[in-house]
Structure 1
């Protein structure tokens, strides 16, 4: 077993072992069963979600025993093939199971209990390939960088969440997307503005197009404007 203590960014890279934000996958697959002890209760969060082009299955869990009991269980399950990374308040355990990366993210809810997340992703599949088109199909404002592109299917409702960053102002973003989306046939149904010292700091925009709904938020933080766009539509 390998154990490391490091920063969040370093830990994520150590766990994944690759730049997973640049990967993509096409096709259906059967996920392996994730081993869990009998003192853990799991809840499916997303049976079919794609994070920056990578498909995965996500679950939440709660444990009636503390973190160390959970770690001991996975040490027994995975032995020397367990990777143990600490980035408080989280501890991340990971294991390569064939073409899949199995990850346990755990934190203590109190001294006697723990909670966290389980994920399975085909990080080592030969079907994975580089995807240089995060944000494809979305009218990304020129000069913006797509930070996250997450797709999920929940009971026939398909959603896509994009996070983008840019050094342009909130007002510039709001004006650009309002005009661009209206040109694409979207209709504005709501907007909300928050300002400070006459400078636009936060803007919410909701648009619809048929059965599609798009919620957008533009917010300025430390000189950068971040856009969160959530698109929802029937399957």
Structure 2
């Protein structure tokens, strides 16, 4: 029901240094051209860092680079289409994943470094504090801690229509003092409804998109 939201599409502001993130460096092959997606974000209650790079080498060669680096401590999982996901536990405190996918004659890689929690994440931590219609599933709850406004993005899904979701958030956020900005009207037949709500300097943008099964909702809180 819920399409996976690419992390890079969620970055909504310029990054600033994160306080005391202390993530380990992850090796990359020579010739890689990359960028940081987020220096410090909280993904479904877990602290992590994300980056990506492209390189003019096939997946097998890049994969071999990491197998040499991490030897028998690496978990190697094949992906459909010729890709691979490599996992590595760094000193028992962080878990590193490198997802490799073919891109023409080269490879695109996405690196995630997740800090393992000292305690279990509370079951209600994902989506906490953001109102939702009944039987709404929260797939992703991301807070970008390295942005000035600490932007939060939620990816959700339910069986209600885009119009029903828009009506719910207009009522609920209106009761919290948010004003609905003028924009395209959302109709009962609408396939996509996107609305921005503002309260002083705060902004919430909710996009509801009809899918084959149910509706996908993305909320960006700034």
What range describes the TM-score normalised by the shorter chain of this pair? 0.7 to 0.9
Does 1:44 find its partner at 2:36? yes
Partner of 2:58: 66
TM-score between the two structures when normalised by the length of structure 2? 0.82
SS at match of 1:50: strand
Q: Return closer, same or farther for 1:106/1:193 CA change in 2, 3 Å cut-off.
A: farther
Structure 2: distance between partners of 1:173 and 1:72 = 47
Contact 1:94 1:101 in 2 (8 A): yes
Contact 1:190 1:207 in 2 (8 A): no
Partner of 2:94: 100
SS at match of 1:76: helix
CA shift, 1:118, in A, is: 0.8
Structure 2, gaps ≥5 residues long? 1-18
Find 1:218's aligned residue among 203, 208, 217.
Answer: 208
CA shift, 1:82, in A, is: 1.3
Partner of 2:113: 120
CA shift, 1:219, in A, is: 1.7
SS at match of 2:125: coil
CA shift, 1:42, in A, is: 2.7
Does 1:147 find its partner at 2:107? no
Structure 1: distance between partners of 2:208 and 2:183 = 11
Contact 2:56 2:107 in 1 (8 A): yes
CA shift, 1:170, in A, is: 2.2
Q: Which runs of 4+ in 1 moved over 6 A?
A: none
Partner of 2:5: none
Structure 1, gaps ≥5 residues long? 1-26
CA shift, 1:138, in A, is: 1.2
Relative contact order (alpha carbons < 8 A, sep ≥ 6): 1 or 2 greater? Answer: 2
Structure 1: distance between partners of 2:121 and 2:166 = 34
Partner of 2:162: 170
**CA RMSD of superposed structures (Å):** 2.0
Aligned length: 202
